[in-house]
Every structure is written in structure tokens, then in C-alpha cells.
Amino acid sequence: MPVSDYQLVSAWQEVLRLSKLEAGQTVTILTSTATHPQNLRCAAIAVQSLGAVMNRLDLPPVNAEKALSRDPLAYLGTTPLTGNKAAIACLKESDLVLDLMTLLFSPEQIDILKSGTKILLAVEPPEVLVRTVPTEADRKRVKTAAARIEAAKEMTVVSDAGTDLRCPIGEFPATAEYAFVDEVGRWDHWPSGFAFTFPNEGQATGRIVIDKGDILLPQKSYTTDQIILTVENGYATKIEGGVDAELLREYMASFNDPEGYAISHIGWGLQPRCYWSTLGLYDKEQTIGMDARAYEGNFLFSLGPNNEGGGSRTTACHIDIPLRNCTVSLDGEEVVRNGKVLDGGVK
């Protein structure tokens, strides 16, 4: 169901409160042609209602001639900020940037964050945002999971479908996404709720079985048959299966970049207000599929870049794949069993 402006303004106010926005601080709302008008309208009202100074920076879209999809995560090449010194300076001078455009996995975003600016990405439909307003309990749960990842040396993942993956970890820090930005220089994404890291460079090995009903993003589709990935020295070296595997192979081959096959971030979903089934209720151009990424108990892995985690690998190809019914272990201790998180949940 659609939501009222009152509901969405209230949701924005709560997220800004959690993000420690103070009166007199400067907020820049970053927009483009695909920005949802209600998200923009209500974010602007919420920012001004809290006494902050508001700017809007509207930039033209890029990469249309290269991307095979309208999804903003379908091609991670240049951004509207690439070479745009004036726009970058504006964002660096802001205390908080509300990204209603999508700068994910861009060197410009990393540079802006280093200046101390906080960035909150929010591009999902208004009703998704209202349903997934974050809480302090979400933060505590995700931070606890990230701390467990930080202390571990290996993450392993198995499933009855045949997944058997071993990922040495520790080279890159753990990341906690809980949908608000309460620290200087922090980036987050509303909605979210998951903890992850990146495997040590070139060391992930084993097999990943994407089972029937698992989800491919940015394709935003449920698989209808198994896709089997062989993982060697940190890369998916084989993609086997039926039509779904053929579709994935052709899509990835279109980037003509071997770095797109690298195992990127690995972790699990912790958001009980997100659902595996929600993707099937939306037109593909209405959502980027954050429910699929964050729903509680999934094992989320990706293919492609690791520069967001501090690595040097960049590539325009980025695939997110949340798997159901997996058992995830850290140094041999289970943290997710058959798709159920073993931390007691959020009360």
C-alpha cells in the first residue's frame, strides 16, 4: 500500500535522529532523474523540520550506453561525480549527504567519506522505507555480528543443496550495515541489516550452489534451477547449470572483465522486517531489492569489486546473491544454521 507524506516524513525524522543530525548542520540531498519524488519531498521536509541547512544537488545520469539494465547497481563504472570537482566540493562541505541517486562502489564516495561527511543511501520505494525504519536494537545486533566476524580467521558455508565454501578472512575489516549513520565519515544504506567482510585476496575456494528460489541481483529474479559455481583462488572459474546459468554467464561476460568473477563481500542478513518473498511483489524497476539482501538468515555473497572494503579491486560488474537455507560458521562455530540466525533475534 502507498504511504502518506506524514508517515514518510516521520520515518525520515527518526532515521535522521538516529544519525545524530543537529540543528545548524548542513545536509545535501543528492538526486538524479530516477529519484523517487516522494522520497525527495519528505526527506527535505524532515531535514528542515530538524533545523538543518538543506541543499539539493541534482546530477544527470551516466552509463546508459554501457549498462544492460536501468538498475543503478547494474554498472559500477563512472558516476555523475566523476571529474565534477564542484559537486565533490559541495558534498565534502556537507555534514550529511542523503544519497537518493546511488554512488555505491565509487572512488568519489570513498573520497567524500574520508573528509568526514556522512552518507546515507536511500533509494527504495517509500513503503519499503517506512516498513524498515531502523532501531537501536538493529544496530546492536549487527555490530555484535560484525565483531564476531572481525575476531574470526575463517568463514565456511555449507548447505543441503551442495554449497561447500571456505573463505579465509581477516585481511579486510568487517562491515556493519544497520541503516543509519551515527559516526563521522560513516556510510550506510536504508533499508539494511547485515554484517559482512571480504575474503582474503585470492583465497576463497570450494563450491557455491545457487538453489531454486534463490535470488540474483541486479537481475531481480528467483532462480528456477540450480546454478553451480566452482570457486578457485578467490574467483568463480565455472558457472554451470541450465538456462539461469546461461543468463548469468552472458550477463557477466558482457563486462569483458575477469575481475567481475572474484568473490566479493560475504556475510548474512539480520533484518526481520525484510522478506525473501517481497521481490516478487514489485516491478523490477521499482526496487533495487534490498529486502532480498537483508532478510534474516540469508547468506549473502557477491561477485566483483572489493574497494569498498579497503581492497584495490574495481570492476563495473557486481552481482549480489542471497542464498537460503545455508549454515554459516566462523572458525567452526555456527552463527547461522539452515537459514536461521543463532543469536536469539531482536526483542
Note the pLDDT tens digit of each residue in 215-261.
Answer: 999 999 999 999 999 999 999 999 999 999 999 999 999 999 999 99
* Cα 54 from chain centroid (whole Å): 26
The mean pLDDT of 113-142, rounded to a whole number, is 97
Same domain, 251 and 273: yes
Mean pLDDT rounded to a whole number for the chain: 95
Number of domains into which the chain is organized: 2
The answer on 146 and 103 residing in a single domain is: no
Q: Do residues 185 and 109 both lie within one domain?
A: no
223 assigned to some structural domain: yes
107, 158: one domain: no
Three-state DSSP state, 159: strand
Residue 155 three-state SS: strand
Least trusted range by pLDDT, from 44-58, 78-92, 324-338:
78-92
> What is the predicted pLDDT for the residue at 269?
98
Q: Based on the fold, state whether residues 170 and 96 are members of the same structural domain.
A: no
For residue 205, the Cα-to-chain-centroid distance in whole angstroms is 23
SS3 294: helix
The string of DSSP letters for 211-236 reads -TT-EEBTTTEE-SS-EEEEEETTEE
Confidence of residue 347 (pLDDT cuts 50, 70, 90): low
Beta carbons within 10 angstroms of residue 235's beta carbon: 18
- Residue 181's nearest CA partner among 119, 269, 98 is 119
Shared domain for 216 and 303, answered yes or no, is yes
Residue 295 in any domain: the answer is yes
Residue 347 lies in a domain: no
Please tell me the distance from the alpha carbon of residue 269 to that of residue 340, in angstroms, as a whole number: 10
Are 192 and 288 part of one and the same domain?
yes
Within this chain, do residues 223 and 308 fall inside the same structural domain, yes or no?
Answer: yes
Query: Are residues 232 and 319 both part of a single domain?
Result: yes
Residue 50 lies in a domain: yes
CA angle 214, 173, 203 (to 5 degrees): 65
- CATH number of the CATH domain containing 26: 3.40.50.2300
CA distance 320 to 167: 17
Full residue range of the structural domain in which residue 253 is found: 136-341
Q: Which residue has the cell 537501536?
A: 136
Res 309: pLDDT: 86
Which of 131, 146, 177 finishes a domain? 131
Give the integer Cα–Cα distance in Å for 20 and 184. Answer: 10
209 and 176 housed in the same domain:
yes
User: Does residue 346 lie within any of the structural domains?
Assistant: no
Q: 88-119 pLDDT, tens per residue?
A: 999 999 999 999 999 877 788 889 999 999 99
Residues 307 and 162 in one domain: yes
pLDDT tens digits along 11-60? 999 999 999 999 999 999 999 999 999 999 999 999 999 999 999 999 99
Question: Which residue intervals of the chain are DSSP H helices?
Answer: 5-18, 37-49, 85-92, 107-114, 126-131, 136-151, 243-253, 290-294
